[in-house]
Amino acid sequence: MSAYSLAAVSFVLFSLAAAGFLTCGSLVRMLMFLELMLNAANIALVALGPETVSQAYAVMLFAIAAAEAGIGLALIITLASAFRTLEAENIRELKG
Amino acid sequence: MEGNYYPLLKWILLAPLAGFAVNGLLGKKFLGEKAGGIVGALAIFVAFIFAALSFSDLLNLPVENRLLRDTLYSWISAGTFSVDAAFRFDPLSAVMALVVTGVSFLIHVYSIGYMHGDAGYNRYFAYLNLFVFFMLALVLADNPLVMFVGWEGVGLCSYLLIGFWYEDPEKAAAGKKAFITNRVGDAGFLLGLMLLSALLAFNGVFAMDFESLEKNAPLLTSITVLGVGAPTLICLLLFFGATGKSAQFPLYVWLPDAMAGPTPVSALIHAATMVTAGVYMLARLHFLYELAPKALEVVMLTGCFTAFFAAVIALLQKDIKKVLAYSTVSQLGYMFMAAGAGAFSASVFHLATHAFFKALLFLGAGSVIHGMSGEQDMFKMGGLKKEMPFTFLLIGAGWLAIAGVPGLSGFYSKDLILEKVFEHGGTFVWGAGVLTAAMTAFYTTRLFVLTFLREKRGHGHAHESPLTMTLPMAVLGVLALAGGFLLKDRLFVFLEPMAEHGAGHDPLAARLMLISVVAGLSGIAAAFLLTLPKTAAALKRAMPRIHDLVYHKFYVDEIYGFLIIKPLRLVSDKVLFQLVDAGLIDGVIVNGSANASYTAGKALAKVQNGRLDIYALIFAIGVALMLYWAI
C-alpha cells in the first residue's frame, strides 16, 4: 500500500469518526469516536512521516490514547452517577 | 536688580497663610472661639509689621531705586517662556500692602466681637486670613500671572464669605451671583493677559515681570489686532476684568447682593480692599494704559457713568448696607474716573481714603445692625444717638469724611479727582462728578439722619457694641478724619518722586473746589430737609414714576435677567442639557454603549446553551473554516 492510499484511509476514518462524534448523543459513544479520530491521526502520522520517528510517535500516541480513554471513562462514570443519564443533551451544566 | 533682593517680603504673605492653615485645620477642634479669633488677628498683625518694616527699608533707599524684590521659586518654565513666583515692594504696592494689612487687622479685631457666638467662627477667620493672603499676593505680585492668582483667589474668598451663612439659600445665591459675575470679568482679564504675553512673545520678549513689561510695552504700539491698536484692545480687555472685580457698569450688579455676607466682610472685601483691585491693576499697568488714550477714555466714561448711576440708586435705598454698597460702587467709579484721566496717583489716594471712611461706615453699620439684633431697614431705626453714642460719633466722622466736608479725607481725594477730571475730561464729565458728589453727600446724610437722629421708629432696645468693635472703629475714625490731610502731599511725593508737585494752584482749581464744596454742603442740607417724613411723602407723590424707577434700581437686575440670564438658561436647558448632556452624552455615549454590549451579550448567551454536542458542532465548523482559510 502506498503512503497516499494510507493517508486516504486515515482521512476517511477521521471524517467518519468526526461525523459520528457530532451525530451521536451518548457520551460513551462520543468517547469511542474520539478514540477513532486519534487512531486516524496515528495512521496519518505513520503514513506521511519519516520512518522511525513517526513510528516512535505512533507508540507514544497509543499511550496517550489509553490514558485519555481511562480519564474519559472515569468522568463518564462520575457523570452517570451524578445525572443518571449519559445523553449529552440532558446534561446542561455548562449553560451560560 | 539683584541688589534689591529682600527676603522679608515673603513673610508678609506667609503670615496670613499660616493663620488660614491653623484656623482652617485646627480651629474648631483645638482652638475654639477665643484663641481662633486671636490667631486670626495676630496673623494679620504680623503681616502688617512686616509690611511696615519693608516700608521703612524702602524709604531708606535712594528715591530713584525704591524697589524691593523677593523671588520664591521658578513657577512656570516652558522653553524660552518662564515666570517666577516673584514679589515686589515698590511705592505703589507699599501703599496697597499697608492699607490692606492695616485695615484688615482692624477689621479682624472688630470681627472678634461681631462674630461672637457664630457657629462658623473659626471657618470665618480662616477664610478672612486666606483672603488677606490672596489680596497681598495680588498687590505684591511682580508679574501679571502671580497677580492673576491673587485676583482669582480673592474672588474665591469673596464667594466663600458672601455665602458664609450658606444655610440661607438667598445668601448662597448672592455668593454664586458674585462669583459668576466675576468670572465674566475674569474671562476678559485672562484674554487681555494672553494677548499681552502672546504679542510680546511675537516680538521676542518672553519676560513677564512688570519692569520688563514697562520697558517693552512700546513694542506693541505698531501692532493692530482686529483693526484696533494692540494696547487699546489689551487695556480694554483688562479693564473689563476690572469692571467685574471692582463692580463697575455693566458688571456691578453683584456688589449690592454681596451684602448678604457678614458686615465686616462687606467692610473689608467689598469696600476697602478687594473691590479696589481693579483700580490697583490700572495703576500698576499705567504704562500700558498711557499707550492707549482711547482705552483711558472708556475707563473715564465708564467710571463717570457708574459713579453717577450708582449714586442715584443709593438715594432711595432702605437697607443701610445697600446704601453703602451702592455708595461703594459710586466711589469706585470716582477712582476709575481719576485713572481714566491719567491721574493714577489720585485714584490710589482716593482708594486709600475710601478704604478708611467706607470701612468705618460699614463697621458702623455693622455695629448698628449688631445693636439692633439684625435689623437693617433704616426706616425702623432712628434716634439711636442716645443708645449708641460711640457708634453715633464714629459714623458721624465717616459721614462727614465721605460727604466731602473740607479738611476731612474724602474732601482732599475727591477734590483732586474732580480737578484732574476737569483738566482731561472736560466740563461734562466734571459736572457729572460734582453732581455725584452732591448725591453722595445726600445719601450719606440721609443714612445718618434716619439711623441716629429724629424720633425712634423701631421697637426694642438697642445696645452699644463691645470694645473690640468700637476700638477698631475709633482708629478708622481718626484715619477717616485726618488721613486725607496727612497723606495728601506725602503720598504723591512717595508714589511719583520724579514728577513735580505743588505746582501753583491756579485760580480755576480754587473755583472748582468751591463749587464741589458747595455741592456737597447743599447735598447735606437737602438731605436734612427731604428726610422729613412730610417732604419725603410729598416728593414721592409728586414723582411716582421716577421714584419707582430709582427705588427698583432702574430694573437693571430684571433687564439682565430677561436679556441674558433667561436666554442663557433656555439655551443651557434645551440645547446643552437636554440635547448634548442628556441626549448625546448620557443617551448615546453612556447608555448607548452599555445597551449595545448588553444586547450583544444577550444574543451571544444563546449560543452557550450547555449542550456538549452543539459545542462540538460549532467547534468542528470552526476547524473546518480555519482549514478552508488556511489552504
Per-residue pLDDT tens digits for B454-484? 777 766 677 777 888 888 888 888 888 888 7
Instruction: Identify which of B90, B125, B89 has the alpha carbon closest to the alpha carbon of residue B104.
Output: B125
Give dist(CA B484, CA B328) in Å, integer: 18
Provide the residue type at B329 as one letter.
Answer: V
> B610 vs A18: CB contact, 8 Å cut-off?
no
Tell me the shortest Cα–Cα distance from A22 to chain B, in angstroms.
6
Angle ∠(B188,B189,B192) on CA atoms, nearest 5: 85
Is B631 in CB contact (< 8 Å) with chain A?
no
Tell me the shortest Cα–Cα distance from B167 to chain A, in angstroms.
54
> B616 vs A21: CB contact, 8 Å cut-off?
yes
> A88 vs B612: CB contact, 8 Å cut-off?
yes
The residue-averaged pLDDT of B120-136 equals: 90
Phi-psi region of B454 (alpha: psi -120 to 50; beta: other; left: phi over 0): left
Residues B394-429 as b or e (16 or more Cβ within 10 Å = b): bbebbbbbbbbbeebbbbbbbbbbbbbbbebbeeeb
pLDDT for A96 beyond 70: no
Q: What are phi and psi of B215, to 5 degrees?
A: -70, -40
Residues B257-271 as b or e (16 or more Cβ within 10 Å = b): bbbbbbbbbbbbbbb
- What SS3 state is found at B31? helix
Given pLDDT bands bounded at 50, 70 and 90, which one contains residue B429?
confident
> Residue A91: its chain B contacts at CB < 8 A?
610, 612
Range in A30-39, B289-298, B531-540, B567-576 with the lowest mean pLDDT: B531-540
Given pLDDT bands bounded at 50, 70 and 90, which one contains residue A4?
confident
pLDDT for B503 beyond 60: no
B157 or B452, higher pLDDT: B157
Give dist(CA B593, CA B588) in Å, integer: 7
pLDDT for B3 beyond 60: no
Dihedral of the alpha carbons of B134, B138, B143, B149, in degrees to the nearest 10: 40
Give residue-wise pLDDT tens across range B257-307.
888 888 888 888 888 888 889 999 999 998 888 888 888 889 999 999 999
Range in B6-15, B159-168, B552-561 with the lowest mean pLDDT: B552-561
- pTM metric for this prediction: 0.78
B14 or B2, higher pLDDT: B14
Q: What are phi and psi of A14, to 5 degrees?
A: -65, -45
> B616 vs A95: CB contact, 8 Å cut-off?
no
Give dist(CA B171, CA B266) in Å, integer: 13
Is B613 in CB contact (< 8 Å) with chain A?
yes
What pLDDT shows up at residue B500? 55
The residue-averaged pLDDT of B321-329 equals: 90
Is A88 in CB contact (< 8 Å) with chain B?
yes
The residue-averaged pLDDT of B168-179 equals: 89
**In contact, B106 and B472? CB cutoff 8 Å:** yes
Interface confidence (ipTM) of the complex: 0.81
Instruction: Identify which of B266, B251, B280, B269 has the alpha carbon closest to the alpha carbon of residue B180.
Output: B251
Percent of chain B scoring above 70 in pLDDT: 97
Give residue-wise pLDDT tens across range A32-87.
999 999 999 999 988 888 888 888 999 999 999 999 999 999 999 998 898 888 88
